[in-house]
């Protein structure tokens, strides 16, 4: 029986467990994991069992609540010390997605305003609220985005920014899901997305399950489908947006943005405002995660694909300059890159 019931991550508050879908097993196996083990939680984020900027932020909040509620003592000093350690550890394991940092800062703040008697309950309440708010925010992104797609019949997306990247709905695919709810069917071209194939494994999987018309393409096919006039818009998610509107997303997004600009196709970045980082002036200041070479040479293959000993440069993300972004689709509405710096995270959920 499914605890998550269509969600990607969740908090089993009755049994004090973090629950998540192991996305490394998809699409061949669907498996929900329930845990209160620190190492298992950390590994889930590090190895991309839980991935997607909104999802890892919410999951971090849930993990903190679970781990603190496991501790037998109510001594505030002991509990707060553990909160600080958990936050310091988790924030380092995925450095590019600001949602993780955002969520852990909320956990720290909640801990500091709590006492030894109520810190456990307060962190539990915060974790549950984070999950609820993520669903609400992503739905709003979907509603604003669906309006932009009213006269569009086909989009291209890169990586996975659908329901598997958030608690529900997702960011880049939320407009597609809301449009479908309203009776409009949109064709989606899905970039496979190297090196971990999130598009092929995850986006294609969830779109097929949702009954959306999805066509998988190799990353190097994006130009061809655009040149043939098959794409009306590009929708992507993002992991961090600087004050000037530069946006970091899965490696290869920059290439798609350049192509969309050349073919005069609108390029939309879908994001909750928890992804906005006003502390960074521009995209050059965004830390780009670099992952192991074997994710390119070996991962997902039945046998080694590349020559033994060959080096591989495996950036997880690249940065798309604001000049290539048509608009941001957010829970506050559709915002131009020039307007993004007027906003701050202080008035987000």
Among candidate residues 242, 253, 252, 269, the one with its CA nearest the CA of residue 325 = 269
Query: Does residue 2 lie within any of the structural domains?
Result: no
Q: How far apart are CA 11 and CA 63, in angstroms?
A: 9
Among candidate residues 348, 321, 325, the one with its CA nearest the CA of residue 336 = 325
Query: Does residue 231 lie within any of the structural domains?
Result: yes
Domain boundary among 93, 117, 135: 135
pTM of the model: 0.92
Tokens of 81: 């010390």
Query: Does residue 166 lie within any of the structural domains?
Result: yes
Domain boundary among 96, 111, 135: 135
What phi and psi, each to the nearest 5 degrees, are found at residue 241? Answer: -125, 125
Domain boundary among 135, 151, 178: 135
Query: Does residue 273 lie within any of the structural domains?
Result: yes
**117 and 217, same structural domain?**
no
- Contact yes or no for 234/329 (Cβ under 8 A): no
**195 and 127, same structural domain?**
no
Q: How far apart are CA 11 and CA 292, in angstroms?
A: 31
Query: Does residue 159 lie within any of the structural domains?
Result: yes
Give the neighbor-by-neighbor strand order of the sheet with 240-241: 240-241, 247-250, 317-320
**95 and 145, same structural domain?**
no
Q: How far apart are CA 69 and CA 11, in angstroms?
A: 12
Residues whose CB is less than 8 angstroms from the CB of residue 67 and which lie 6 or more positions away in sequence, other chains included: 36, 38, 41, 82, 86
Query: Does residue 1 lie within any of the structural domains?
Result: no
Q: For residues 91, 348, 174 and 253, what is the CA-based torsion angle, rounded to 10 degrees? A: -50
Query: Does residue 235 lie within any of the structural domains?
Result: yes
Q: For residues 180, 129, 104 and 94, what is the CA-based torsion angle, rounded to 10 degrees? A: -20
**328 and 195, same structural domain?**
yes
**Domain encompassing residue 321:** 139-347
Among candidate residues 248, 255, 261, 266, the one with its CA nearest the CA of residue 154 = 266
Q: How far apart are CA 206 and CA 208, in angstroms?
A: 5
**67 and 160, same structural domain?**
no
CATH code of 19's domain: 1.20.120.420
- Annotated catalytic residues are 239
**113 and 41, same structural domain?**
yes
**295 and 208, same structural domain?**
yes
**223 and 102, same structural domain?**
no
**310 and 192, same structural domain?**
yes
CATH code of 250's domain: 3.40.50.10470
**161 and 126, same structural domain?**
no
pLDDT tens digit at each of 349 positions of the chain = 688 989 999 999 999 999 999 999 999 999 999 999 999 999 999 999 999 989 999 999 999 999 999 999 999 999 999 999 999 999 888 888 788 888 999 999 999 999 877 999 999 999 999 999 999 999 999 999 999 999 999 999 999 999 999 999 999 999 999 999 999 999 999 999 988 899 999 999 999 999 999 999 999 999 999 999 999 999 999 999 999 999 999 999 999 999 999 999 999 999 999 899 999 999 999 999 998 898 888 877 778 889 999 999 999 999 999 999 999 999 999 999 999 877 754 444 3
Query: Does residue 4 lie within any of the structural domains?
Result: no
Residues whose CB is less than 8 angstroms from the CB of residue 38 and which lie 6 or more positions away in sequence, other chains included: 63, 67, 86
Among candidate residues 239, 256, 237, 235, the one with its CA nearest the CA of residue 248 = 239
**183 and 101, same structural domain?**
no
**Nearest 5°: CA angle at 180, between 26 and 165?**
35
Domain count across the chain? 2
**77 and 148, same structural domain?**
no
């Amino acid at each position: 029986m499914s605890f998550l019931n269509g969600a990607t991550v969740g908090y089993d508050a009755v049994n004090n467990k973090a629950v998540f879908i192991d996305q490394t097993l998809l699409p061949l196996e669907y498996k929900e994991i329930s845990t209160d083990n620190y190492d298992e939680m950390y590994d889930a984020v590090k190895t991309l069992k839980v991935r997607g900027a909104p999802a890892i932020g919410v999951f971090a909040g849930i993990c903190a609540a679970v781990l603190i509620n496991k501790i037998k003592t109510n001594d505030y000093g002991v509990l707060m010390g553990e909160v600080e350690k958990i936050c310091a550890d988790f924030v380092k394991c995925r450095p590019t997605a600001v949602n993780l940092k955002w969520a852990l800062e909320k956990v720290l703040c909640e801990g500091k305003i709590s006492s030894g008697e109520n810190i456990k309950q307060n962190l539990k309440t915060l974790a549950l609220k984070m999950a609820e708010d993520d669903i609400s925010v992503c739905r709003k992104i979907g509603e604003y985005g669906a309006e932009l797609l009213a006269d569009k019949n086909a989009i291209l997306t890169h990586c996975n920014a659908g329901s598997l990247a958030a608690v529900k709905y997702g960011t880049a695919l939320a407009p597609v899901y809301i449009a479908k709810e309203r009776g409009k069917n949109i064709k989606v071209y899905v970039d496979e997305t190297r090196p971990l194939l999130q598009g092929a494994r995850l986006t294609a999987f969830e779109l097929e399950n949702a009954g959306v018309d999805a066509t998988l393409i190799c990353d190097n096919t994006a130009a061809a489908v655009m040149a043939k006039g098959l794409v009306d818009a590009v929708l992507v998610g993002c992991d961090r947006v600087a004050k000037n509107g530069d946006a970091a997303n899965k490696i290869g997004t920059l290439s798609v943005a350049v192509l969309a600009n050349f073919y005069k196709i609108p390029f939309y970045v879908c994001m909750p405002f928890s992804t906005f980082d006003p502390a960074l002036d521009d995209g050059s200041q965004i830390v780009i995660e670099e992952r192991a070479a074997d994710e390119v040479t070996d991962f997902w293959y039945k046998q080694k694909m590349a020559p033994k000993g060959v080096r591989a440069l495996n950036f997880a993300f690249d940065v798309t300059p604001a000049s290539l972004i048509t608009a941001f689709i957010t829970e506050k509405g559709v915002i131009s890159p020039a307007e993004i710096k007027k906003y701050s995270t202080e008035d987000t959920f």
